[in-house]
């Protein structure tokens, strides 16, 4: 079956622009995670959804970052007024039923803020 | 502070030999650990995991060892193959299921 997909794969934004990154989890997966991976580093947790409920947003770096999953399937990570330090790869992962099940990652969206 | 550390940014091994990737953690509350493999321009792929109630888990050529007293785990790949060349991330599962990753080790297996 299809894995986790993310779009766009690459995004270039001018500083100050708003961006929206999309994640399509594996069909039927209940849990969805967003991670941010800076160059040369490991992924860092941003936020977690169980169905449509955002249960943990402790990793979001500022109030410019906002995530939603209104119907419990597709999720969107929005970054307002992008800054150069937001440049990173944004990874989405889903797991089947519980948040402790194995997480399957999408290919990521590489965001470059100029 | 880095709760999961991979102190070797890179490792080069000859094909057919053993690759040993190391990982240290600081939080004794972590009870589940995972290794992910990542190729360029792809997302991390789950490789193998281990619960803190075990000290070893094996899956084909891949074995993970856990030393709880030392807060250390390692991934052994035997025999190493050129297709194993990738970045390997160690991760600990924290509260709510989120993963805390190390910085990664880039493995290069030379033919």
Q: What is the pLDDT of residue A99?
A: 66
Rounded CA Rg of chain B: 13
What does the alpha-carbon distance between residue A62 and residue A80 come to, in Å, rounded to a whole number? 10
State the average pLDDT over residues B1-26: 95
Structure-block tokens of residue B97: 């299921």
**CB-hemisphere CA count at 13 Å for B18?**
9
- With contact defined as beta carbons under 8 Å apart, do A29 and B79 qualify? no
Query: With 90 as the cut, is the pLDDT of residue A42 above it?
Result: yes
| Average pLDDT value for chain A | 95
Q: Which of A44, A98, A107 sits opposite B41 (nearest CB)?
A: A107
State the average pLDDT over residues A18-23: 98
Asked whether the beta carbons of residue B32 and residue A100 sit closer than 8 angstroms, the reply is yes
Could you read off the pLDDT of A76-89 as tens digits, one per residue?
A: 999 999 999 999 99
Banded model confidence at residue A2, pLDDT cuts 50, 70, 90: confident
Banded model confidence at residue B50, pLDDT cuts 50, 70, 90: very high
Q: Which of B44, B91, B97 sits opposite A31 (nearest CB)?
A: B97
Query: With 70 as the cut, is the pLDDT of residue B39 above it?
Result: yes
What does the alpha-carbon distance between residue B25 and residue A28 come to, in Å, rounded to a whole number? 33
Show which of residues 33-52 on chain A sit within 8 Å of chain B, judged by CB atoms: 33, 35, 40-45, 48
Q: What is the DSSP string of B10-39?
A: EEEEETTS-EEEEEEE--TT--EEEEEEE-
Query: With 80 as the cut, is the pLDDT of residue B93 above it?
Result: yes
State the average pLDDT over residues A40-61: 96
Asked whether the beta carbons of residue B43 and residue A4 sit closer than 8 angstroms, the reply is yes
């Amino acid at each position: 079956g299809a894995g986790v997909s993310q779009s766009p794969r690459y995004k270039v934004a001018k500083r100050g622009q708003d961006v929206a990154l999309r994640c399509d989890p594996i069909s039927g997966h209940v849990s969805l995670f967003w991670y941010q991976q800076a160059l040369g580093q490991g992924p860092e947790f941003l936020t977690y959804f169980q169905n449509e409920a955002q249960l943990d947003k402790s990793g979001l770096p500022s109030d410019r970052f906002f995530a939603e999953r209104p119907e419990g399937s597709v999720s969107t990570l929005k970054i307002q007024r992008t800054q150069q330090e937001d440049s990173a790869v944004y990874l989405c992962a889903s797991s089947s039923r519980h948040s402790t099940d194995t997480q399957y990652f999408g290919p990521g969206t590489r965001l470059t803020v100029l | 502070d880095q709760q999961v550390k991979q102190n070797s940014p890179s490792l080069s091994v000859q094909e057919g030999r053993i690759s040993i990737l190391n990982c240290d953690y600081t939080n004794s509350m972590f009870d589940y650990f995972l290794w992910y493999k990542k190729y360029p321009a792809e997302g991390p792929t789950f490789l193998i995991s281990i619960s803190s109630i075990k000290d070893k888990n094996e899956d084909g050529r891949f074995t993970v060892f856990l030393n709880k007293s030392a807060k250390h785990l390692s991934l052994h790949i035997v025999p190493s193959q050129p297709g194993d060349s990738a970045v390997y991330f160690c991760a600990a599962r924290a509260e709510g299921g989120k993963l805390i990753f190390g910085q990664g080790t880039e493995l290069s297996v030379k033919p």
